[in-house]
């Protein structure tokens, strides 16, 4: 709250009200789940271009306006909020803290053994760096990715119970993957990240969507009359690529029409 106090949207702001409406609809449709009904949920919307959202163990949910602007539909927003609810209900923060404490304890044993065998400061420093690096990339980050995948799965089920079009969930990550490509954002290898790659999330969600659709049907939700958002996105991508190819061909043709500058003019230009 201290960090974002100057960027908080008021409770009367339109974006705040939209997010709040979707969030509490999810809560209402899943109130039969003990963890959800026991938590006192509070929404905070931060005016920031970051595409981000997170939840604290006490039920405080922070959503950035960059995320709200990045979703293409209320269905995508509902899935992302369901993902954050899942983190809190599954107590991922406490679970992760327990694993970190365990790894720290094992690391201390490792360093103690090194010191007992060879009590040298330089070796202890190298040993500490080695165990810290191994802990981070072999245990902490993979475990964090596992928790994210679990939150995706449960979040999808929460969204299904709220009659959301869960097919939109995987499209969201395809949109982010496309945006990264278009804007030239460097892609970080998954093993370096605390989150699964966009592509892996798409694959996992596509595998889980059939089960989520079955859950949706058992909740007496209205049938999905609109076309599959995944198909719509795929067709839109084909059109986009065709248009891009046409523009590239036109640009090449224009360059060929212009042709090279006369030698005299080339020399004059290069001298300038």
177 is catalytic: no
| 198-207: pLDDT as tens digits | 999 999 999 9
Cβ-contact 205, 187 below 8 angstroms: no
| 44-78: pLDDT as tens digits | 999 999 999 999 989 999 999 999 999 999 999 99
Domain assignment of residue 257, yes or no: no
| 76-96: pLDDT as tens digits | 999 999 999 999 999 988 888
Domain assignment of residue 1, yes or no: no
| 157-204: pLDDT as tens digits | 999 999 999 999 999 999 999 998 888 888 888 988 999 999 999 999
Domain count across the chain: 1
Read off the pTM.
Answer: 0.83
User: Strands 53-55 and 42-46: what pairing?
Assistant: unpaired
Domain assignment of residue 6, yes or no: no
b/e 224-247 (16+ beta carbons within 10 angstroms → b): eeeeebbeebeeeeeeeeeeeeee
H or E segment to which residue 237 belongs: helix 229-258
Domain assignment of residue 160, yes or no: yes
The sheet with strand 42-46 has its strands ordered as 42-46, 60-64, 53-55
Domain assignment of residue 216, given as a range: 14-246
Domain assignment of residue 196, yes or no: yes
Q: Give the active site residue among 84, 148, 203, 211.
A: 84
Cβ-contact 144, 195 below 8 angstroms: yes
């Amino acid at each position: 709250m201290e960090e974002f106090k100057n960027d908080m949207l008021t409770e009367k702001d339109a974006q705040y009200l939209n997010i709040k409406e979707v969030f509490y609809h999810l809560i209402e449709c899943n109130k039969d789940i003990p963890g959800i009904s026991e938590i006192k949920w509070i929404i905070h919307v931060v005016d920031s271009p970051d595409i981000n959202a997170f939840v604290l163990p006490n039920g405080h949910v922070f959503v950035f306006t960059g995320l709200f602007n990045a979703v293409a539909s209320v269905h995508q927003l509902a899935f992302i909020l369901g993902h954050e609810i899942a983190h809190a209900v599954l107590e991922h923060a406490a679970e992760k803290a327990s694993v970190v404490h365990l790894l720290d304890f094992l690391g201390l044993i490792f360093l103690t053994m090194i010191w007992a065998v060879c009590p040298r400061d330089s070796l202890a420093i190298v040993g500490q760096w080695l165990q810290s690096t191994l802990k981070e990339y072999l245990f902490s980050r993979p475990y964090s990715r596992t928790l994210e995948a679990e939150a995706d799965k449960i979040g999808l089920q929460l969204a299904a119970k709220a009659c959301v079009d869960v097919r939109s969930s995987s499209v969201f990550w395809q949109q982010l993957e496309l945006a990264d490509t278009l804007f030239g954002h460097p892609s970080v290898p998954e093993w370096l990240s605390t989150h699964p790659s966009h592509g892996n999330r798409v694959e996992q969600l596509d595998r889980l969507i059939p089960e989520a659709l079955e859950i949706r049907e058992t909740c007496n939700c209205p049938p999905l009359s609109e076309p599959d958002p995944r198909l719509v996105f795929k067709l839109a991508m084909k059109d986009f690529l065709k248009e891009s190819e046409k523009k590239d061909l036109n640009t090449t043709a224009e360059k060929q029409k212009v042709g090279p500058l006369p030698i005299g003019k080339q020399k004059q230009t290069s001298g300038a």
